C-alpha cells in the first residue's frame, strides 16, 4: 500500500517536471543564440548611408546701414578742407549747399567781428560758426539720449589760416555716439548720415 502511494506520487512529480521544461528552448553556445533580438532566419539588411544634400536656400539680402559702404563714410574727428576763395563767395555756396540737403541755419556767430569789437586785432580772419540742424532728425537722436541736446545744433566753422586760405570744417557729428548711454541704431544712422552729407557740403565749397 505504501509503495503504491509512493509510486503515484513519483509519477505526478515526474509529470509536473516534464510539463514545466517542455517550453524551454535548447540554448546553444554555437552560432546563434535563441534569446538574441533577431531570429536566425531573418536576413540582416545592410545599413543604408543617406547622402546629405545641402539645399541652397534663397537668402534675402538684408541691407544694414552699417554694412553699406556707399551709404556712410569714415572721416576724422575734425574734418577740414582749405582753398583760396573769398569768404563772401564761400558763404553763399555754403548756405546754398545746406539748403539743398534740407539743413536749416539757426544762427551764424561772427567770431572775428566780435573780437575786433573788443579791440583784439591779432586774431584769425573770417572765423565764423554756422549753427545748423534738421529738426525732424533730432527726434531720433534725442529720444533715448536726451543729454545729447548739449551737442546741438551741429556746427560748421570757417577761418583764414596762415597761408591765407579759407578753412571750412566741423567736428564730425557721429562723435556724439561716444556719449550715447543708450545705444540707439536709428540715432547712430542719423549721425552717420550727417557725417556723409556735411562732408559733401564742405567739399563742394572748394571743388567749385
Q: Contact, 99 vs 120, CB < 8 A? A: no
| Dihedrals phi, psi of 174, to nearest 5 degrees | -70, 0
Q: What is the mean pLDDT of the chain?
A: 79
Query: Closest Cα to residue 172, out of 147, 208, 149, 197?
Result: 197
Angle among Cα 87, 92, 93 to the nearest 5 degrees reads 95
C-alpha cell at 154: 551741429
Query: Closest Cα to residue 204, out of 88, 74, 83?
Result: 83
Between residues 67 and 206, which one has the greater pLDDT?
A: 206
Q: Tens digit of pLDDT for each residue in 41-67?
A: 555 555 554 454 454 444 444 334 444
Q: Which of 38-42, 112-116, 125-129, 195-199 has the lowest mean pLDDT?
A: 38-42
pLDDT at 3: 55
User: Which domains, and CATH codes, for the chain?
Assistant: 78-207 (3.30.310.70)
Q: What is the mean predicted confidence (pLDDT) over 169-185?
A: 93
Other CB atoms within 10 Å distance of the CB of residue 129? 15
Q: Contact, 159 vs 124, CB < 8 A? A: yes
pLDDT band at 28 (very low <50, low <70, confident <90, very high): very low
pLDDT at 207: 84
Counting every residue written for the chain, the total comes to 208
Query: DSSP secondary structure string, 39-83?
Result: -TTSPPPPPPPPPP-PPPP-------GGG-TTT-----SEEEEEE
Query: DSSP secondary structure string, 117-143?
Result: HTT--SS-TT-EEEEEE-HHHHHHHHS
pLDDT at 17: 55
Q: Tens digit of pLDDT for each residue in 152-165?
A: 999 999 999 999 99
pLDDT at 121: 87
Q: Is the pLDDT of residue 77 over 70?
A: yes
Q: What is the mean predicted confidence (pLDDT) over 167-181?
A: 95
Predicted TM-score of the model (pTM): 0.65
Q: Is the pLDDT of residue 148 over 50?
A: yes
Other CB atoms within 10 Å distance of the CB of residue 25? 7
pLDDT at 72: 81
C-alpha cell at 34: 535563441
pLDDT band at 18 (very low <50, low <70, confident <90, very high): low
Q: Is the pLDDT of residue 73 over 60?
A: yes
Q: What is the mean predicted confidence (pLDDT) over 161-183?
A: 94
Amino acid at each position: 500500500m505504501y509503495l503504491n502511494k509512493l509510486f503515484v506520487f513519483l509519477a505526478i512529480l515526474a509529470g509536473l517536471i516534464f510539463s514545466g521544461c517542455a517550453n524551454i528552448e535548447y540554448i546553444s553556445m554555437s552560432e546563434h543564440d535563441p534569446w538574441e533580438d533577431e531570429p536566425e532566419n531573418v536576413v540582416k539588411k545592410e545599413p543604408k548611408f543617406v547622402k546629405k544634400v545641402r539645399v541652397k536656400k534663397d537668402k534675402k539680402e538684408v541691407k544694414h546701414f552699417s554694412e553699406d559702404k556707399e551709404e556712410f563714410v569714415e572721416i576724422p574727428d575734425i574734418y577740414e578742407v582749405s582753398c583760396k576763395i573769398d569768404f563772401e563767395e564761400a558763404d553763399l555756396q555754403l548756405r546754398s549747399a545746406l539748403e539743398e540737403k534740407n539743413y536749416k541755419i539757426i544762427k551764424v556767430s561772427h567770431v572775428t567781428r566780435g573780437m575786433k569789437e573788443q579791440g583784439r586785432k591779432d586774431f584769425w580772419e573770417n572765423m565764423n560758426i554756422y549753427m545748423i540742424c534738421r529738426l525732424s532728425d533730432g527726434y531720433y537722436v534725442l529720444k533715448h539720449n536726451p543729454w545729447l541736446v548739449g551737442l546741438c545744433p551741429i556746427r560748421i566753422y570757417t577761418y583764414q589760416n596762415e597761408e591765407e586760405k579759407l578753412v571750412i570744417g566741423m567736428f564730425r557729428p557721429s562723435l556724439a555716439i561716444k556719449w550715447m548711454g543708450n545705444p540707439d541704431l536709428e540715432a547712430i544712422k542719423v549721425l552717420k548720415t550727417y557725417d556723409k552729407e556735411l562732408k559733401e557740403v564742405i567739399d563742394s565749397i572748394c571743388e567749385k
